[in-house]
């Protein structure tokens, strides 16, 4: 095995699914190779949204990171108008860790932090890490003492990397912590929330127009809130649209405490599945949506790529990573269904991917699945490959000579708009090949 | 009325490179398997922020991927299994174990792990008992000593015209500066120059007892240089040979003249770099040189201090020192300006990667 790279074909993976994932595809059986291709696993905030950035999602809020210095080091990279001057640190030393003395200092530190800002913050997040997880710190209680001191909402954020594979992983927990700041409000039947992403849905996404067509005048999201008052308005929604699983438990809390029912949609890149989702949504809301125009645009984009490829002697070979705005297995299954060759997928299969893996195995059994986390990836030959186009920053890392398509923009693609943009980007990238 | 004199509170400055990063930086180029015993976040911080080589060079830096039950149950056997499994997949000459807050809190016995690993895997094992609460220089020193203990070959024949440079990790020196340092030493007659923290492979540590002399350019290099002096009688000097040139570069970016006699300068950096810059200014200005104080947030060895030099531990100590001593010029990484919102003297940027993460 030495000097080899672990991978498995889609056919092998699909055939062995009943026995569970191979050890190399599990994250608890091997060391985690720390390459640029796995950075978002080890440190989600390094290139996207980790707990720190997520904890600052409430407009006007500030964050006190309470931890050993090593946990806050990369926070220095948080810059720009959205984050400047919004973080402070209470660094723990060995004495604090042994005695828990730091807990008594937190209210005074929060007061000093609030007083030091040029404008009063809307809320204060208290971000704690693995050390306090092991110490069993009751941060809710500490937060209450802070509220008494500064008279502002104080929100505990748990950056417990140790609990990544628990029932309440950090990115789920931090969403709950944020949405739990909302107080019950009178409902506005013309308002809906989009829950899930920390950056806004692409403004040209048809979802906005479709909701408007049924009388929804206010489509709100956390990322779209510019003030704390706007954040509070999220509690007025008539219903929530849940676009990622990580916000499911928050939506359940909102249903229970704020009486806002939730409808779950998934980001998919298959026309048929988008059709079905909008039909289902219309059914739940007791209406129907005129989606023909958006579907036609998506079909047109897909057709344009198809024409380009038909004019070429050789088909492109794709590698699909997991650091992108998609589920890599769903995206690969959809691309393969349209006739594209996906040779490689970089990702850890989740239980919900089983359906897509079977589809991939049926249509493209030789597609190889790699996990960027495997130590054997150290042996991956990045210089020689037949891959034409690499999607996602991890696939791009492993195929530096392929055409790069990060597909990881801040504006979140969704529905027909996502498909249209994806195929336009693919056309653009492959046209210049 | 709020109190800002709270131990550990940083209102303006982000955390500096921690001991975990210093240790990983030393281990990175050595050709070994570096295991960061953490849940993932520490490894992400180290490589994603403190290791500039990580985007371009390949190194076997792995996270132990600890989970809550590993920490609660102390499942070190699983860690050993994982390391053994990784070694069946990759080539490595040795193992470096880098500790983090989680093993520190649960009291992981690193020495026992080293013994077990050596027996199971048959490779030398170095340990760095970092815990994330100290600065990078301490972690780098621990890794240097750990690698010397694991790899050094004491009976190697002396290398003629050889020199070992300690403290040369990217946290303290840029690659171009390191290349220039090597070039200068070669011109001055050194045939073998080992840059510990930059040169690839385990050879610099195997041959550490064979060099004629050592040079220390950052505090992290003092511990290994003293170890080699004590055990192998290798003399060392402390200097930062590029300071004069760095001063020229710095002055080229400003129209302000250096302060003269009767005025005051503060140089804030790691101790060796600050001292070397002080020396460079004195050489340039001769008897007209101003009063120059060096200060640091990192390790400070009294041997290399002058009266009036300062050691800052807490963030607030820096602006208070400035308010009290009113320097006319501060030479420091520009990120330190954040802690001086009401100070309006001349500031020259003297970058320190371990502070700002910028060149």
Residue, of A35 and A179, whose pLDDT is higher: A179
A-facing residues of B in 115-134 (CB < 8 A) are 131-134
Nearest CB neighbour to A109, from listed B9, B49, B58: B9
**Range in A161-165, A232-236, B31-35, B51-55 with the lowest mean pLDDT:** A161-165
Percent of chain A with pLDDT over 90: 81
**Are the beta carbons of A69 and B91 separated by less than 8 Å?**
no
B222 vs A212: CA distance, rounded Å: 68
Task: Work out the pLDDT band at A51, boundaries 50, 70, 90.
Answer: confident
In this prediction, residue B1 carries a pLDDT of: 52
B29 vs B34: CA distance, rounded Å: 10
**Which positions ≥6 away from B117 have C-beta within 8 Å?**
B80, B83, B95, B97, B123, B125
Rounded to an integer, the average pLDDT of B278-290 is 94
In this prediction, residue A2 carries a pLDDT of: 42
Answer yes or no: is the ipTM higher than 0.90: yes
Q: How far is A432 from chain B (nearest CA, A)?
A: 26
Nearest CB neighbour to B14, from listed A3, A43, A75: A75
Over chain B, what is the mean pLDDT?
95
In this prediction, residue A327 carries a pLDDT of: 97
In angstroms, how far is CA B101 from the centroid of its own chain? 19
CA angle A213, A218, A222 (to 5 degrees): 130
A105 touches chain B (CB under 8 A): yes
Task: Work out the pLDDT band at A103, boundaries 50, 70, 90.
Answer: very high
B186 vs B163: CA distance, rounded Å: 10
Rounded to an integer, the average pLDDT of A143-167 is 92
In this prediction, residue A3 carries a pLDDT of: 52
A-facing residues of B in 36-55 (CB < 8 A) are 36, 38-50, 54-55
In this prediction, residue A20 carries a pLDDT of: 81
Place of tokens 């569970």: A20
Quickly count: other Cβ atoms within 10 Å of residue B314's Cβ.
Answer: 16
Percent of chain B with pLDDT over 70: 99
**Range in A111-115, A234-238, A427-431, B286-290 with the lowest mean pLDDT:** B286-290
- Whether A145 has a pLDDT exceeding 90, the answer reads yes
Residues from chain A that touch B86, judged by Cβ atoms under 8 A, are 30-31, 375
Give per-residue pLDDT as tens, B291-308.
999 999 999 999 999 999
Give per-residue pLDDT as tens, A209-265.
999 999 999 999 999 999 999 999 999 999 999 999 999 999 999 999 999 999 999
Quickly count: other Cβ atoms within 10 Å of residue B280's Cβ.
Answer: 20
On the CB side of A417, CA atoms within 13 Å amount to 15
In this prediction, residue B260 carries a pLDDT of: 84
Give per-residue pLDDT as tens, A126-138.
999 999 999 999 9
Residue, of B202 and B1, whose pLDDT is higher: B202
- Whether A168 has a pLDDT exceeding 50, the answer reads yes
- Whether A47 has a pLDDT exceeding 80, the answer reads no
Over chain A, what is the mean pLDDT?
93
Residue, of B256 and A146, whose pLDDT is higher: A146
B43 vs B54: CA distance, rounded Å: 12
Residue, of A350 and A143, whose pLDDT is higher: A143
Rounded to an integer, the average pLDDT of A108-123 is 95
Nearest CB neighbour to A31, from listed B14, B47, B86: B86
Cα–Cα distance list, A3 to B63, B91, B272 (Å): 20, 7, 42
B203 vs A405: CA distance, rounded Å: 41
State whether the Cα torsion B326-B330-B332-B336 is positive or negative. positive
Give per-residue pLDDT as tens, B57-88.
999 999 999 998 998 888 999 999 999 999 99
> In terms of CA atoms, which chain B residue is nearest residue A75?
B14
In this prediction, residue A1 carries a pLDDT of: 39
């Amino acid at each position: 095995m030495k000097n080899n790279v672990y991978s498995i074909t889609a056919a092998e993976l699909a055939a062995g699914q009943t026995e569970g994932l191979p050890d190399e595809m599990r994250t608890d059986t091997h060391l985690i190779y720390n390459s640029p291709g796995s950075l978002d696993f080890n440190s989600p905030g390094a290139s996207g949204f980790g707990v720190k950035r997520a904890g600052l999602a409430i407009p006007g809020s500030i964050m006190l990171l309470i931890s050993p210095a090593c946990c806050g080091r990369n926070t220095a990279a948080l810059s720009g108008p959205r984050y400047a001057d919004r973080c402070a640190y209470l660094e723990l030393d060995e004495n604090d860790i042994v005695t828990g003395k730091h807990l008594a200092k937190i209210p005074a530190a929060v007061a000093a932090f609030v007083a030091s800002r040029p404008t009063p913050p809307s809320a204060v997040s208290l971000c704690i890490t693995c050390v306090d997880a092991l110490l069993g710190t009751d941060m809710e209680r500490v937060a209450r003492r802070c509220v008494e001191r500064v008279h502002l909402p104080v929100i505990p954020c748990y950056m417990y990397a140790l609990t990544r594979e628990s029932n309440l992983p950090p990115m789920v927990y931090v969403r709950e912590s944020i949405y739990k700041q909302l107080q019950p409000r009178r409902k506005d039947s013309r308002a809906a929330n989009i829950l899930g992403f920390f950056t806004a849905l692409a403004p040209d996404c048809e979802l906005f127009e479709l909701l408007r067509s049924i009388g929804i005048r206010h489509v709100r999201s956390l990322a779209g809130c510019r003030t704390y008052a706007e954040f509070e308005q999220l509690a007025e929604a008539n219903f929530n649209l849940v676009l990622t699983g990580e916000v499911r438990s928050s939506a359940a809390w909102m249903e229970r405490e704020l009486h806002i029912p939730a409808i779950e949609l998934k980001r998919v890149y298959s026309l048929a599945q988008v059709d079905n989702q909008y039909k289902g949504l219309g059914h739940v809301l007791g209406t129907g949506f005129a989606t023909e125009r958006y579907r036609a645009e998506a079909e047109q984009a897909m057709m344009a790529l198809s024409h380009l490829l038909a004019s070429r002697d050789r088909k492109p070979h794709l590698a699909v990573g997991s650091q992108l705005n998609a589920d890599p297995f769903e995206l690969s299954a959809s691309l393969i269904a349209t006739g594209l060759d996906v040779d490689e997928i970089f990702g850890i299969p989740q239980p919900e991917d089983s359906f897509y893996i079977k589809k991939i195995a049926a249509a493209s059994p030789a597609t190889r699945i790699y996990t960027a986390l495997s130590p054997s990836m150290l042996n991956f030959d990045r210089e020689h490959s037949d891959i034409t186009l690499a999607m996602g920053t991890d696939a791009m890392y492993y195929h530096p000579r392929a055409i790069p398509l990060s597909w990881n923009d801040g504006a979140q693609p969704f529905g027909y708009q996502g498909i249209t943009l994806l195929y336009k980007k693919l056309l653009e990238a492959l046209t210049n090949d | 009325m709020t109190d800002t004199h709270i131990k550990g509170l940083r209102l303006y400055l982000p955390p500096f490179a921690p001991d975990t990063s210093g240790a990983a930086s030393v281990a990175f180029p050595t050709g070994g398997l570096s295991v960061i015993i953490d849940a993932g976040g520490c490894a992400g911080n180290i490589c994603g922020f403190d290791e500039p080589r990580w985007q371009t060079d390949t190194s076997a830096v792995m996270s132990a991927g600890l989970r809550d039950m590993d920490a609660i149950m102390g499942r070190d056997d699983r860690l050993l299994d994982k390391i053994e499994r990784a070694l069946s997949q990759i080539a490595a000459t040795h193992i470096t174990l880098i500790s983090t807050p989680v093993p520190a809190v649960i009291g992981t016995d690193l020495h026992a792990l080293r013994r077990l690993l050596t027996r199971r895997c048959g490779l030398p094992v170095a340990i760095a008992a970092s815990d994330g609460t100290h600065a990078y220089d301490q972690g780098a020193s621990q890794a240097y000593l750990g690698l010397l203990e694991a790899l050094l070959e004491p009976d190697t024949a002396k290398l003629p015209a050889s020199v070992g440079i300690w403290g040369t990790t990217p946290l303290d020196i840029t690659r171009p500066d390191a290349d220039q340092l090597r070039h200068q030493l070669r011109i001055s007659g050194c045939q073998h120059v080992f840059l510990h923290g930059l040169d690839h492979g385990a050879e610099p540590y195997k041959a550490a007892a064979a060099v004629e002399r050592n040079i220390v350019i950052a505090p992290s290099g003092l511990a290994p240089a003293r170890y080699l002096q004590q055990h192998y009688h290798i003399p060392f000097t402390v200097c930062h040979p590029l300071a004069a040139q760095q001063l020229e570069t710095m002055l080229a970016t400003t129209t302000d003249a250096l302060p003269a006699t009767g005025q005051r300068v503060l140089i804030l950096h790691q101790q060796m770099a600050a001292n070397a810059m002080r020396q460079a200014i004195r050489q340039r200005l001769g008897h007209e040189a101003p009063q120059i104080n060096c200060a640091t947030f990192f390790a400070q060895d009294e041997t290399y201090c002058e009266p009036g030099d300062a050691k800052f531990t807490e963030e607030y100590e820096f602006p208070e020192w400035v308010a009290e001593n009113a320097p006319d010029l501060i030479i420091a990484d520009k990120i330190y300006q954040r802690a001086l919102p009401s100070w309006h003297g001349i500031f020259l940027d003297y970058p320190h990667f371990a502070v700002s993460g910028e060149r």
